[in-house]
């Protein structure tokens, strides 16, 4: 790589590190027992109206009049410190802690059972015995070498947003467990403007990565729902997917080069060419490895100039079948916008509860006219209609041409343009919807989401059968109130789509609501697999879903993964027990 083509950001990296959105220590601004920022949450005010607090999201201060219709931290278990490891670690100067708050904060992700336990003051069976904060790749090499020397268990920790129990410490682990927190490895090391790639430390948080690249006129375009808190290394470790993957690709499409520290040494390719034919791609041993093989320390990834023009949109369809058919045709013609997502009627009705109170009589009048036109004049049944939200990006002329093409396709399936505001609100609500689970638990409601990918010809059957299975399981397991069961198609491909399911129920009268939820979700996952869906599209496997790994990739496939694990990590230093 010619030096003239590389802009070295060494002088800027200090500033980048000090201005990280997610500060050190993280618990100063993030909830320890819920999603996201500690100053951001849904609540009901003195008038009984729902509001969203904080100053970080556009819906702050808005009253949500329809939403009302629709704990102390337990002391952690005893620490099992490996004193010899600690003494050698001190000599390196790498920061570490064995304070209870640091340990518990990194003992969990954001599965329902984890957050419920924290809110109820229940003790985790096992938490990390200490936390260590490497500052760079060479620090990680030293930590891994010491862990091998003293037989210490390492669990990599990125953004902490896992929803697969991936961060839970195995209760049967008797060795000292060290949480290796990569948050201080948050620098962009260089930008190569000729080849449009950036070399970045893997601990950087998604929103910080985009902000820093934007300052130089670039972006990655990778926007998972969790991008405010999830890390680049976590994206690699779970094979992440973003909302704008239609333009920018999934994480495996963006990655050019990965540097990984394992117990056997450092894995990396010898060059950063765009493609190699040198046997199976070693990157694909790392992508999706979920912290079982080593620590991702640095990533070279594709970047793009910030798009000149961005436009939101939305389309209302008479029913879910018409909406799915439209998305299928858009995928077939390969003209999908950056983001196109279809929500079913149940999710549309629930999303309507999050619509802010109108600010004027005129606005209220216009909204009433729109509703009359769709439901009365066009004959759409309010209990059947569905909505797709759209986001277009690129130069202005191409965006407008692209927009017309998509709306023309939608019209052939009975779709009606529903405006930019609905599209933008639907996109932004993606970042705040996780906060609703915290509000729900205040009112005896448990809620969760899970996802799958499925061929196009199975989308409708899978969505219908999974929702029916959830409702049936809830009734059989004593749930006294009608559950909310909904789905949306979130990413499209030539041969299929990603489908997200959301469900919630009021748990009054249940002795163990988390157990009930887990049995219902287990049944839903079996239904997904029986209907031709995948075990996961982008959340990963963790410990939550590994019982289905043989069914998903075959016994021989699991054996191949185990062989790689045994060679790279023969002493199970990276012992989180995910996947296998």
Active site residues: 500
112 is in an annotated binding site: no
Question: Helices in 333-457 by DSSP H: which ranges?
Answer: 345-352, 361-372, 396-412, 420-429, 435-442
389 is in an annotated binding site: no
d(CA 435, CA 408): 36
Bond prior to 25 in cis (omega within 30° of 0): yes
DSSP per-residue string spanning 184-214 = T---EEEEETTTTEEEEETT-BHHHHHHHHH
Beta bridge partners of 463: none
Q: Are 415 and 320 in contact (CB under 8 A)?
A: no
200 is in an annotated binding site: no
294 is in an annotated binding site: yes
478 is in an annotated binding site: no
Calculate the CA 260 to chain-centre distance: 22
51 token code pair: 């509001």
295 is in an annotated binding site: yes
291 is in an annotated binding site: yes
292 is in an annotated binding site: yes
30: DSSP letter: B
Residue 417's H or E segment, with its range, is strand 416-417
514 is in an annotated binding site: no
d(CA 467, CA 477): 15
Burial call 82-109: b when 16+ CB within 10 Å, e when fewer? beebbebbeebebebbbeeebbbbbbbb
336 is in an annotated binding site: no
175 is in an annotated binding site: no
Contacts (Cβ under 8 Å, ≥6 apart) of 472: none
In the block, residue with structure tokens 């961005």: 310
161 is in an annotated binding site: yes
159 is in an annotated binding site: yes
290 is in an annotated binding site: yes
Assign residue 478 a region (left: φ > 0; alpha: ψ between -120 and 50; beta: otherwise): left
- Residue 393 sits at φ, ψ, to 5 deg, of -140, 145
DSSP per-residue string spanning 252-275 = HHHEEEEEEEETTEEE--S---S-
Return the closest-CA partner of residue 130 out of 76, 81, 174, 185: 81
- In the three-class reduction of DSSP (H, G, I as helix; E, B as strand; rest coil), residue 42 is classed as strand
241 is in an annotated binding site: yes
Binding-site residue set for FAD = 156-162, 238-241, 290-296
Q: Which residues carry a binding-site annotation for substrate?
A: 437
Binding-site annotation, residues: 156-162, 238-241, 290-296, 437
């Amino acid at each position: 790589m010619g030096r003239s083509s590389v802009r070295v950001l060494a002088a800027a990296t200090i500033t980048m590190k000090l201005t990280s959105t997610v500060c050190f220590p993280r618990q100063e601004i993030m909830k320890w027992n819920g999603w996201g920022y500690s100053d951001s949450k849904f609540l009901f005010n003195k008038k009984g109206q729902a509001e969203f607090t904080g100053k970080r999201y556009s819906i702050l201060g808005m009253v949500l009049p329809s939403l009302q219709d629709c704990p102390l931290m337990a002391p952690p278990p005893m620490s099992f410190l490996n004193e010899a490891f600690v003494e050698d670690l001190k000599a390196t100067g790498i920061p570490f802690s064995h304070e209870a708050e640091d340990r518990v904060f990194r003992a969990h992700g954001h599965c329902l059972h984890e957050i419920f336990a924290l809110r109820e003051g229940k003790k985790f069976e096992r938490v990390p015995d200490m936390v260590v904060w490497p500052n760079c790749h060479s620090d990680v090499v030293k930590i891994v070498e010491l862990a091998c020397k003293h037989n210490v268990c390492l669990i990599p920790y990125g953004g902490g947003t896992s929803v697969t129990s991936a961060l839970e410490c195995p209760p049967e682990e008797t060795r000292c467990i060290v949480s290796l927190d990569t948050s201080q490895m948050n620098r962009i090391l260089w930008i190569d403007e000729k080849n449009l790639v950036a070399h970045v430390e893997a601990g950087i948080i998604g929103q910080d990565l985009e902000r820093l690249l934007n300052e130089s006129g670039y972006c990655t375009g990778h926007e998972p729902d969790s991008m405010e808190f999830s890390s680049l290394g976590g994206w690699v470790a779970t094979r992440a997917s973003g909302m704008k993957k239609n333009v920018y690709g999934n994480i495996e499409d963006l990655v050019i080069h990965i540097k990984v520290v394992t117990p056997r040494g450092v894995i990396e390719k010898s060059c950063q060419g765009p493609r190699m034919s040198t046997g199976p791609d070693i990157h694909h041993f790392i992508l999706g490895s979920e912290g079982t093989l080593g620590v991702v320390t640095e990533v070279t990834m594709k970047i793009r100039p910030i798009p000149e023009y961005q436009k939101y949109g939305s389309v209302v369809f008479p029913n879910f079948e018409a909406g799915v058919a439209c998305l299928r045709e858009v995928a077939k013609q390969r003209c999908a916008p950056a983001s196109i997502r279809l929500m079913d009627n149940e999710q549309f009705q629930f999303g309507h509860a999050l619509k802010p109170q109108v600010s004027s009589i005129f606005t209220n009048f216009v909204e009433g006219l729109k509703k009359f036109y769709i439901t009365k004049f066009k004959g759409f049944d309010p209990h059947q209609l569905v909505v797709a939200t759209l986001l277009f990006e690129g130069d202005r002329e191409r965006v407008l041409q692209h927009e017309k093409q998509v709306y023309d396709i939608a019209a052939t399936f009975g779709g009606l343009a529903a405006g930019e505001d609905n599209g933008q609100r639907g996109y932004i609500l993606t970042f705040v919807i996780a906060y609703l689970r915290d509000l729900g638990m205040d009112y005896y409601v448990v809620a969760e989401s899970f996802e799958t990918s499925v061929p196009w010809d199975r989308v409708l059957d899978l969505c219908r059968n999974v929702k029916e299975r959830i409702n049936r399981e809830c009734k059989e397991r004593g749930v006294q109130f009608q559950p909310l069961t909904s789905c949306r198609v979130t990413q499209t491909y030539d041969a299929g789509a990603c489908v997200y399911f959301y469900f919630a129920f009021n748990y009054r009268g249940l002795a163990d609501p988390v157990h009930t939820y887990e049995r219902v979700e287990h049944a839903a996952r079996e239904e997904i697999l029986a209907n031709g869906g995948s075990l996961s599209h982008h959340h990963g496997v963790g410990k939550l879903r590994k019982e289905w790994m043989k069914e998903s990739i075959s016994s021989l496939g699991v054996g191949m993964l185990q062989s790689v694990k045994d060679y790279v990590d023969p002493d199970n230093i990276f012992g989180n027990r995910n996947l296998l």
